[in-house]
Amino acid sequence: MQMGRLLNYRVAGWGTLLMVLGILPRFGISSNLTRLLFTALVWIIASVAWNLLGGFSGQVSFGFAVFYGLGAYAAAMGINGGLHPLAALTISGLVAALASVFIGLPTFRLRGPYFAIATIGVSEAVRVVMTNLSFTGGASGYRIAEHGRFRPLEHYYAALGFSAVAVVISVWIHESKFGLSLQAVREDEEAAADIGVNPLKAKLMVHLLAATLTGIAGGVYARYAAYIHPQGVFGFHTSVAILLMPIIGGAGTVAGPVIGGFVYGLVQEELVAAFPQFHLLLYGALLIVIILFEPRGVTGWLVKLRGFIERIWRKSATASVS
């Protein structure tokens, strides 16, 4: 019964959001807003993905740009090679998944901050290599040869579709036994092993899922931008963005990364246009406040707000009765 009620609210809530986003472009919103929403949706894919590893499983990676970048290049090269976009994006996911195994196997032996630092090292090393690799364009970047008219809605719906997939995966994991085992790994890896969870296998599995989704996000972005370069898609600031969004939104929750992605994608550009360097200051300060006072981020605050409203509601209800 409880599960049924849960699923009903969930489906209703997410479904409504999906519908709203789906029909918005048809209602003639400005092309600028479509572009911003597209950006937000791509970020949401990566944000939800990171949250699977960082929020659910507690493995904080500072190097997700490596998957984003690999996915971007894979898709770009695939499309230039004549592949259908969906096929190219599949390759993005596969390449990123493969990379996640190579990266995860050695680094998952490390705990906490050491894992985080190792991921920085890996991501930056890949960036340097890509900057010097001539067959992918090196520092000059890589360009997709565009044919035919540019259809922004095509990209928009691709982003929307994949972010929906990401959220569905996120909800599914959250509610499943697998999600419980990830939680166990997050809280205490040794105890989890004691009760029969294989921490390494769990981490590798979720890492693979997260990497695949992030790679697809990179591919969707690459298709849109038609020009990518190592400093951008493999850059440290991309890794930072991918981790800031879910943490600020609320790591470990399902909605947190989505909220974070919307805020980052939509508000970001207006902030950047007005104060080019200001947005990171804001996020840094938010991060500090969140770590110190509300680890569940914006979601946690919303929950507190809801509790506050509820208490006032109850008080006024009992007052009116007596």
Partner 1 sequence: MDAADFVNLLVSAVLLAGIYAAMSVGMTIIYGVMKIVNLAHAGFLMLGAYYVLELHERLNIDPLVGSVLAFPVFLLAGMLVHWTLVKRIPVSDQPTLASLLLMFGLWLVLQNIGYLIWGSSDRSILTSRTLSSMHLGPITIPTVRVMVFIPAVCSLGLLEFVLRKTWYGRAVRALMQNRYAGRLAGIPVEKMARLTFGVGIGFAGAAGGLLAQLYSFSPDFGHGFLLRSFVIIVLGGLESFWGAAAGALVLALVETFSILVVPAGYQPAIAFSLLVLALVLLPGGIAGIFAKKHRWA
Partner 2 sequence: MGWIKTGDEMKMKWLSALALVGLLLAGFGAPNATSNPAAVAAKDIPVGVVLPLTGREAKPGQFQKEGIELAIKQINEKGGIFIRELNRKLPLREVFYDDGSDQAKSAGLAERAMSSDDVVAVLGGYSTALGEAESVMPDRYQTPWITTGAAATSIFNRGYQWIFGTLSPVDLLGYTTAEFLGTLVDSGRLRKGLKVALALENTDHGVDYGNGIKKWIQEHGGYFTVVFSESFDLGSPDFSGLLQKVKNAHADIFLADAHLQDYITMHRQYVQAGLHHTMISYGARGPETDARKALGDATDYIFAGIWWSKNLPYPQVKKFVGDYKGFTGREPDSWYAATAYEAVRGLAAAIEKGGALKKATIRDELRKLDLRESLLPGQVLRFGKGGQVDTPFVIVQNKPGGRVDLVYPKDATNGEAVVPPAAQK
Question: 281 touches which of partner 2, partner 1, none (CB within 5 to 8 A by kind)?
Answer: partner 1
Q: Which of partner 2, partner 1, none sits in contact with 81, Cβ below 5 to 8 A by type?
A: none
Residue 117 lies near partner 1 (rule: CB under 8 A): yes
Under the criterion CB under 8 A, does residue 189 sit at the interface with partner 1?
yes
Under the criterion CB under 8 A, does residue 99 sit at the interface with partner 1? no
Residue 83, CB-side half-sphere exposure with 13 Å CA sphere: 19
Nearer to partner 2, 132 or 316 (CB): 132
- From CA 255, how far away is CA 180, in angstroms rounded? 18
Interface pick for partner 1 out of 12, 288, 305, 309 (rule CB under 8 A): 288
Exposed/middle/buried for 135, CB within 10 Å: 0-12, 13-18, 19+?
A: exposed
DSSP 42-99: HHHHHHHHHHIIIIIS----S-THHHHHHHHHHHHHHHHTT--HHHHHHHHHHHHHHH
Q: What angle do CA 264, 50, 177 make, to 5 degrees?
A: 130
Q: Residues 6 or more apart from 45 whose CB is under 8 A from it?
A: 159, 162, 163, 166, 213, 214, 216, 217, 220
- Binds 20, which of partner 1, partner 2, none (CB < 5 to 8 A, cut-off by type)? partner 2
Site map (CB under 8 A) of partner 1, residues 43-72, x = contact? ---------------x-x------------
Q: Which of 42, 122, 144, 210 is in the footprint of partner 1 by CB under 8 A?
A: 122
Residue in this structure with the two tokens 């470990």, named with its chain if needed: 252
- Return the number of the residue (162 or 262) whose C-beta is nearest partner 2: 262
Q: Residue 232 CB, nearest distance to partner 1 (Å)? A: 16
Minimum CB–partner distance for residue 301 and partner 1 (Å)? 17
- Token couple for 261: 């992605």
Binding partner of residue 94 among partner 2, partner 1, none, CB under 5 to 8 Å per kind? none
With a CB cutoff of 8 Å and minimum separation 6, the contacts of 176 are none
- CB of 123 vs partner 2, minimal distance in Å: 16
Task: Name the strand (E) or helix (H) holding 196.
Answer: none
Residues counted in the chain? 322
Site mask for partner 1 (CB under 8 A), range 246-275, x = bound:
-x----------------------------
Q: Which is nearer to partner 2, 92 or 299 (CB)?
A: 299
- Residues in contact with partner 1 by CB under 8 A are 58, 60, 106-107, 109-114, 116-118, 120-122, 124-125, 128-129, 131-132, 188-190, 236, 240, 247, 277-278, 280-281, 283-288, 291-292, 295
